Amino acid sequence: MSGEEGWDATVEEEPRGCQPQFDRRSGFDLQTGIYHSLVQLSEHNKIPVRHDLDTATFVLSQFPHPSEAESRVALIDLATNRRVTYAKLRHSINSLATGLYHALGVRKGDVVFVLSPNSLLYPTICLAVLSVGAILTTANPLNTESEIGKQVRDSGAKLAIAAPEEVHKLLPTGVPTLLTSRPSDDSSLSIEELIESCEPMELPLVKLTQSDTAGILYSSGTTGTSKGVLLTHENFISIMTLLKWSVDVTSSHNDVFLCFIPMFHIYGLVFFALGLFCSGVTTVLMQRFDFQAMLDAIQTHQVNNIPAVPPVILGMVKYTSKGSHDLTSLRRVGSGAAPLSKEVADGFREKFPWVELRQGYGLSESCGAATFFVSDEQAKARSGSSGRLLPSFSAKVVDFETGVALPPYREGELWLKSPAVMKGYLGNEEATAATIDSDGWLRTGDLCYFDDDGFLYIVDRIKELIKHNGYQVAPAELEAVLLSHPQILDAAVIPIENEEAGQIPMAYVVTAAGSEFTEDQIIQFVASQVAPYKKVRRVGFISAIPRSAAGKILRKQLVSLSQQKVLSKL
């Protein structure tokens, strides 16, 4: 079922008497250089424009009708099999909001810092914080005490909510901290107790507007210092609406989703802590990712949908053996947060021909989304693409030397405009001005091109391009070549400084157990498939490629590792 048929979405039409302003095939306007979305939501399903609508009110308004909410399961804990219905979830959100407001004095504009792995309580915490008009900021539990302290200070957090095993990282900050659950030997108040002890009460009217800040999400900082991305209620509501549309055109209300994406990340927050509740589906929740547990969960709970990241898809290609698990219930796997190579995508489709694989594109600064595939036929025909622009999104491909907006098949920096684009970076006017221009265009920093059917292809991060003898080499392209070899389980390519060439590509690889693949063999394997200026010049063997929680390669760590090895030889 196509998106145009599935949710009252229609191809954009010009008013009668007007000439089309852009090409109906690619979405490209030759006069302005702007790519337009080829799909428009109907009046019934458009993004709400009510100025006083906030995120929590919007999400709760999409819950199943009370007659269904008592029996419809919202969440299942994989470890304990505990189930939470939509009725119970609503009650917990309202109870916690009551406790935060009346017992703890949390008010509009207060920043609440959340430090916890995935849990059944995570969505309740997020929606309760937003219900009282407070601002949500989330952090990776793997962050160090120093990193946690920096984020608490930078965000101006007034209250922290933390898993018991993480609370020690918050002690030096002095911020009041509420535990998610109370250990038996601790007298501290916990979220669980607050929910149990507080009956939902009518809260004083909190005057919120869609332009108010709802969240401060910290970028991964893979190429620079982490910055606080200011996301408004309009940003979240826009994405919630588009997520509901994308789920409704591809799934049914009886579908079961699997969550292992961390909810502190924009991908997990938008999908699992907020968005999927708008579609009334069931989510099986993993606290932390484990590959075998994922396969068990698909079989046990008859999972249909998995929003995933490229390393997980690569693992399914490389590590699943025929007959070890019954994965026939699986119908759809999405890929986001990092580029998915054509080689890995093709390998997945060959191994799991009954599963639809759809890649999307987004970033924290666009509230986690921008492009999407509405049909499997499109995705198969354009392996390696990230899909078409979502409704409400426009784009430009800008030559980063001339500033000229480019037509299809010309590579440049991707610029985006949408109601989902962030307000800016917290306390950093210089970075905001460098990222969002005076007309509201978001400079993504990603090198890309559109084809003549309006499908987006991400080449690489501009900052990560390797400059070799005046040529630009995309690490992602070389990584895709490396991963096509059966003895290479994972790979990352980084720049190494070189006096003659400026930079040379170096590959770090994870090889299969017992492999005798040598550095020279790997270099020759890549050289046989790419232009001479692109070939890998050095190879390092490593036990695991360092990645962020969202699956992005942490190239800075590998660059540091390569520098340490050079110094150790001096």
Q: Do residues 179 and 188 make contact, with C-beta atoms less than 8 angstroms apart?
A: yes
At residue 371, the 3 state secondary structure works out as: strand
Percent of the chain at pLDDT above 70? 92
Across 103-238, the runs of DSSP E, i.e. the strands, are 111-115, 135-139, 157-162, 177-179, 213-218, 228-232
181 falls in which pLDDT band (50, 70, 90)?
A: confident
* H or E element in which residue 285 lies: strand 282-285
Which of 335, 224, 358, 277 lies closest to 57 in space, CA to CA? 277
Residue 544: beta bridge partners? Answer: none
Q: Do residues 307 and 356 make contact, with C-beta atoms less than 8 angstroms apart?
A: no
pLDDT of 570 higher than 60: no
Domain ranges across the chain: 47-71+84-234, 467-569
CATH of domain 47-71+84-234: 3.40.50.12780
pLDDT of 8 higher than 80: no
Using DSSP bridges, classify how beta strands 28-29 and 442-450 pair: parallel, antiparallel or unpaired.
unpaired
508 falls in which pLDDT band (50, 70, 90)?
A: very high
Residue 111: beta bridge partners? Answer: 135, 157
pLDDT tens sequence across 113-150: 999 999 999 999 999 999 999 999 999 898 888 889 99
pLDDT value for 220: 58
Distance CA 363, CA 555 (A): 18
Residue 230: beta bridge partners? Answer: 216, 424
Task: List the structure tokens of 117.
Answer: 């792995």
pLDDT tens sequence across 25-81: 899 999 999 999 998 777 767 888 888 899 999 999 999 999 999 999 999 999 999
* H or E element in which residue 46 lies: none
pLDDT tens sequence across 427-474: 999 999 999 999 999 999 898 999 999 999 988 777 787 878 767 788
* H or E element in which residue 311 lies: helix 310-319
Give me the long-range contacts of 104-107 (CB less than 8 A, separation at least 24).
104/159, 104/178, 106/132, 106/134, 106/158, 106/159, 107/132, 107/133, 107/134
* H or E element in which residue 177 lies: strand 177-179
Task: List the structure tokens of 358.
Answer: 């759809």
pLDDT of 214 higher than 90: yes
pLDDT of 6 higher than 50: no
Which of 517, 403, 440, 420 lies closest to 33 in space, CA to CA? 403
Domain 467-569: CATH architecture, name and number where available: 2-Layer Sandwich (3.30)
